[in-house]
Amino acid sequence: MNILVVGRGGREHSLIMQLEKSNKVDKLYAAPGNGGMGQHATCVDINELDIDGLVHFAKEAAIDLTIVGPEAPLNAGIADRFQAENLAVFAPTEKAALLEGSKSFAKDFMKKYDIPTAKYETFTDAEAAKQYIEEQGAPIVVKADGLAEGKGVIVAETKQQAIEAIDHMMIERKFAEAGTTIVIEEFLEGKEFSLMAFVHENNVYPMMPARDHKRAYDNDEGPNTGGMGAFAPVPDITDAILEYTEQVVLQKAADSLMEEDRPFTGILYAGLMNTADGPKVIEFNTRFGDPETQVVLPLMKNDLVQVITDVMAGNDPELEWKDEACVGVVVASTGYPGTYKKDALIPFSEPANNTFVVQAGTKKTDNGVVSNGGRVLLVGAVGGSLDAAAQFAYEYLHVFDSTDAFFYRKDIGTNV
């Protein structure tokens, strides 16, 4: 098969590394790709949102399957266009992707179908939102309704922080149109975990759970980011918790989307808080999570191409998992998620001990691979335990200690 992966981040690089292992792949392409994907695939210079260009390329290159990584093209209707051209695509339609594209839609959907989540209110008026904050108090969570690259969620520990978040989103338009509507939620206490599943209509095939650390600094301090590291499996998430989440969250969501005439094909991701009352949904994503994909896929025994083709055909892929653990640590540009510089030379070394490097915000130059984004790359490792995997990853990460252009958390996989 000729396979095209749409995207340029760590998630897409991880997908390509997994797809490359399959003997079912003839040619592998990435659009637009990044500085590291060229080692495994042919990068084509087409933007993720250039859907016309992607359709044209898929026809010209006789692409048999397209896998879409990022959320923006999903919400721009890329799957609908590909389907209209009779091109096979593993991705939800625009109607189904709204579950991630609009926080207010997702919350109303969960309320309607009794999927456990935090109590909430939706606002289009900043003063009304601030009044609600005054009434509810803090801690409280403020979310931009639309897509904001993982940065549109503020966990406000004080009322003042919540009011500032409202101003950033609704008055200053920090996230452009994404923040014209906001959702304000109750603060949930507990430990977060993520659960992704391969889905086709009513068929749901869950993966291994992972835990993502979104805060920038050690001990889960600092601002929210797109994710500073992840690990899998998650020791405190029992089989009983997983079974409940699979049935009451993922299966119910897939069934309810069918009921809404929004049939889902692709990856359904639930970001969850394991509260004293059981798991509750923080958010749904309608694609592979980042950086969870980077630590879950290396633990999957199956051929990823076979899994996706089975799922799309309505067959059980019979997922199998290694009895090991995987830890991934993100190396970010100094200053991220705020202002940061690009074009810093990345000091690579040869990976050892089941260690691997997944590139994200990078680009290739004549002088070597340089930084081209906030989250630059992820160093991951597989081991017999979380401690062993973390030790392998951090042994590699010492190569970044001699430069002040980058930073990384020191507690991923150990702060479980």
DSSP letter (8 states) at residue 50: -
Q: In sequence order, what are the residues at sequence separation of 6 or more whose Cβ sits closer than 8 angstroms to the Cβ of residue 276? A: 189, 190
pLDDT the model gives residue 76:
97
pLDDT the model gives residue 41:
97
pLDDT the model gives residue 96:
98
Choose the CATH number for 119-186 among 3.40.640.10, 1.20.140.10, 3.30.1490.20, 3.40.50.2300.
3.30.1490.20
Choose the CATH number for 2-93 among 3.40.50.1820, 3.40.50.20, 2.60.120.920, 3.30.160.250.
3.40.50.20
Choose the CATH number for 325-407 among 3.20.20.70, 3.90.600.10, 3.40.50.2000, 3.40.50.1370.
3.90.600.10
pLDDT the model gives residue 223:
87
Residue type, 50: D
Domain 191-312: CATH superfamily is ATP-grasp fold, B domain (3.30.470.20)
pLDDT the model gives residue 224:
84
- Rg (C-alpha) for the chain, rounded Å, is 20
Compute CA distances 309 → 199, 200, 306, 316, whole Å: 12, 11, 5, 10
Q: Would you put residue 127 in left (φ > 0), alpha (ψ -120 to 50) or beta? A: alpha
DSSP reduced 3-state for 49:
coil
pLDDT the model gives residue 226:
87
Domain ranges of the chain: 2-93, 119-186, 191-312, 325-407
pLDDT the model gives residue 414:
87
How confident is the chain (416 residues) per 10-residue block, as mean pLDDT?
A: 97 97 98 94 98 98 98 97 98 98 96 97 96 96 88 91 95 90 96 97 98 94 92 97 98 98 98 97 96 98 98 98 98 96 94 93 93 96 97 96 95 85
Distance (Å, rounded) from C-alpha 65 to C-alpha 286?
Answer: 18
pTM as predicted? 0.94
DSSP reduced 3-state for 389:
helix
DSSP letter (8 states) at residue 117: B
